[in-house]
Structure 1
């Protein structure tokens, strides 16, 4: 069966400016730009139709509403299967997407769990998609993967699980990603190292500043910590 005409990829990813506002990775705008650009390229390399829903395209008051509405929008274009991904999983490969498309063509449903209790990929059949059911899932909570897996098993004949991958939500995740640096592009690796160096440099500056004026800050427990950002 040819999945070209029936399967689409939805890249649900905010603009770099919006990512910078909601994620705990200061000065990460260039990183977010790179992640979105490379994610779109991986999706396009499958040969499947690709739709990018940035924050300017999303409709809804909550993340769950915006994500659900984006999926419904793509299904309304005439596709019977959708692969949804974000831009925050550097180790996601085109091969993961091709494998998902193949499983969908066999009538299965696919999920790629992330380390934080969510998922980085979801392969859905239109026949298994229910707007109200999606709205009621615990979006952006640690229990999301567990709850959506239970829901999909009820709706689908078979649920295929992909390998667990690390996503990027905060500075701690940057350090974790470096543990798997061999599979990262040189550009992404340099961007992450640069951000970690900036963080170390700011921490070092803060410590030295406090040492220069110990009497001024030693007993001022009510004031917030001095930060240079």
Structure 2
């Protein structure tokens, strides 16, 4: 029996699918470290945790899959959802706790990423507009602002968490400071990739080495494309 009407929804691809879309996730077990870190944080949250990977997701595009996942969790009887992905190494349990506090106080919460997406969304059933979510500009730098505007329109009480960087490109790994990553295995994975990359590429060089992917990433981050100069 549930002891909370707030669910933690982990919306992401399985590790096998992530490796198809982000080849560099295989380097130094980065993908596994990110996945393990997300599971650890989820367990620490004290909330009921629901995992939606490609097997549970339904829809023809990211907007449909994400909106359907939220709708499915609400229909399962939860009144509030905090949803995260598995590609934000700086995420920790305090961000989930901050979102839970906002929801407990009849508000909502959102955590923006540096690329215009979001790494966390805390929303109540009363403030979730399924059809509006379908129409967001997913996989663009506009989606965070669109989501924030929509949520505030429904409920002006919205907590904006600190801005964090997620990992969509090799250049994102290069730019992350491992100093603030709490998980030791994840920190070592990222540091090992940085150590390999830094003698050969500048940050601007790394930005041109993107990876082609057909399936949109978590939380509507902009799509990467293969560009080699």
Q: TM-score range by the shorter chain?
A: 0.7 to 0.9
- Aligned position for 2:187: 189
Determine helix, strand or coil for the equivalent of 1:25.
helix
Q: Which moved more, 1:194-203 or 1:21-30?
A: 194-203
Matched length: 203
* Cα 1:201–1:21 shift into 2, 3 Å: farther
CA distance in 1: counterparts of 2:97 and 2:16, whole angstroms: 30
- Aligned position for 1:40: 39
CA distance in 2: counterparts of 1:118 and 1:192, whole angstroms: 21
Query: In 2, are the aligned partners of 1:19 and 1:29 still within 8 Å (CA)?
Result: no
CA distance in 1: counterparts of 2:199 and 2:89, whole angstroms: 25
- Aligned position for 1:81: 80
* Cα 1:138–1:24 shift into 2, 3 Å: farther
Q: Based on CA coordinates, which of the two structures has the bigger radius of gyration? A: 1
Report Cα offsets for 1:28-74 as digits up to 9, x if no partner.
Answer: 48211221221122122121100011112111110111111111111
Query: In 1, are the aligned partners of 2:37 and 2:186 still within 8 Å (CA)?
Result: no
RMSD: 2.4
CA distance in 1: counterparts of 2:154 and 2:106, whole angstroms: 12
The answer as to 2:146 corresponding to 1:147 is yes
Taking structure 1 as the reference length, what is the TM-score of the superposition? Answer: 0.81
Q: Which moved more, 1:186-195 or 1:119-128?
A: 186-195
Query: In 1, are the aligned partners of 2:37 and 2:183 still within 8 Å (CA)?
Result: no
Once the two structures are TM-superposed, the CA of residue 148 in structure 1 deviates from its matched residue by: 1.1
Once the two structures are TM-superposed, the CA of residue 75 in structure 1 deviates from its matched residue by: 0.7
CA distance in 2: counterparts of 1:102 and 1:35, whole angstroms: 25
